[in-house]
Amino acid sequence: MYANGYVLEDTLQPGIGYWLKFSDAQLIPITGKPLLSETLDVFEGWNIVGSISIPVPTNTITSDPGGIVTSDFFGYNGGYRQVDTIEPGHGYWVKVSQNGKLILSSSSVEGVANRIRIVSSSELPPAPPEEHFSNLESQTPNHFALEQNYPNPFNPVTVIRYQLPVNSWVTLKVYNVLGQEVATLVNEKQEAGRYEVEFDGSKLSSGVYFYRFVAGNFVDTKKLLLVR
């Protein structure tokens, strides 16, 4: 969980979001009674919250006191993304201006007066808790992978992570929408392991770019967005 920093927990509580990391994609069953409403304690700054047993549109969530939410709700899938519905079994980031409560209910009628109002902000949630996975990270990866850059959108610096299961010649290049190369970040032989590279786009104009990762026979390309 997150409370002005990441905290290790051995018990999962309803309505609170947690970071879990697995070596491969898989489905994890969650058992218990259906939860159709919940009041969540939130604290000044960023919070990770969970949903109830049904999807909840963010525009039906209320707060006490009213007007304390100062960000969009963000989900995570290799990078942060804004969402308009929070789903069961997932955690979401939201920022509040002071300590208070968020009220989630299967009924959208309740608490209309205190319905949250999203304030536009370009700020993103804190970076994922990589330090808490040090034991897992120390192991040699079992497959090639290229992660989504963080933050994205970015201005002007972002980080790109990737992993190699075997020693490989690696190239990592950035291209504009015309397919023109604008930066070479990596072009060398590297040992098996996990890597991160910082990309500084301060000399580039705002817009969509692509980064292409080649390691042996593995090739992957992802999109990044530079916003001034």
Question: What CATH number is given to the structural domain containing 146?
Answer: 2.60.40.1930
Q: Please give the C-alpha separations between residue 223 and each of 79, 124, 177, 181, 210, in angstroms, as whole numbers.
A: 11, 18, 10, 14, 4
Residue 135 is inside which H or E element, if any? helix 134-137
Give the per-residue pLDDT at 3: 62
Q: In terms of domains, do 119 and 164 share one?
A: no
User: 2 falls in which pLDDT band (50, 70, 90)?
Assistant: low
Are 89 and 17 found together in one domain?
Answer: yes
| Boundary-marking domain end, from 67, 93, 127 | 127
What average pLDDT score do residues 43-67 get? 90
Tokens 């309740």 belong to: 110
Q: Is residue 133 part of a domain?
A: no
Looking at the fold, whether 118 and 69 belong to one and the same domain comes out as yes
- Computed over every residue of the chain, the mean pLDDT equals 83
pLDDT at 183: 97
Question: How far are the Cα atoms of 23, 82, 171, 211 from residue 185, in angstroms, in the given order?
Answer: 26, 28, 7, 9
Quote the pLDDT of residue 176.
Answer: 97
Last residue in a domain, options 95, 127, 159: 127
Whether residue 134 lies inside any domain: the answer is no
**Does residue 4 sit in the same domain as residue 117?**
yes
The answer to whether residues 99 and 199 belong to one domain is no
pLDDT digits (tens, 9 = 90+) for 100-149: 999 998 775 344 444 444 444 456 677 766 544 444 445 678 899 999 99
Signed CA dihedral, 140, 167, 78, 155: sign only: positive
- Name the phi and psi angles at 173, rounded to 5: -130, 155
Q: Report yes or no on 163 lying in a domain.
A: yes
Residues 18 and 78 in one domain: yes
Query: What total of structural domains would you count in the chain?
Result: 2
Residues for the chain: how many in total? 228
Q: Is 135 within the bounds of a domain? A: no
Domain span at residue 29?
1-127
pTM of the complete model beyond 0.75? no
Same domain for 163 and 95: no
Strand partners, 76: 80
If asked whether residues 123 and 60 sit together in one domain, one would say yes
**β-pair type (168-176, 181-190):** antiparallel
Of 89-93, 98-102, 118-122, 149-153, the least confident: 118-122
Output the pLDDT for position 131. 45
- Mark which of 65, 95, 127 sits at the end of a domain: 127
Element (H, E) at 46: strand 45-50
Domain assignment present for 206: yes
pLDDT tens for residues 155-210? Answer: 999 999 999 999 999 999 999 999 999 999 999 999 998 898 999 999 999 999 99
Tell me if 102 is assigned to some domain. yes
What confidence score (pLDDT) does residue 129 get? Answer: 63
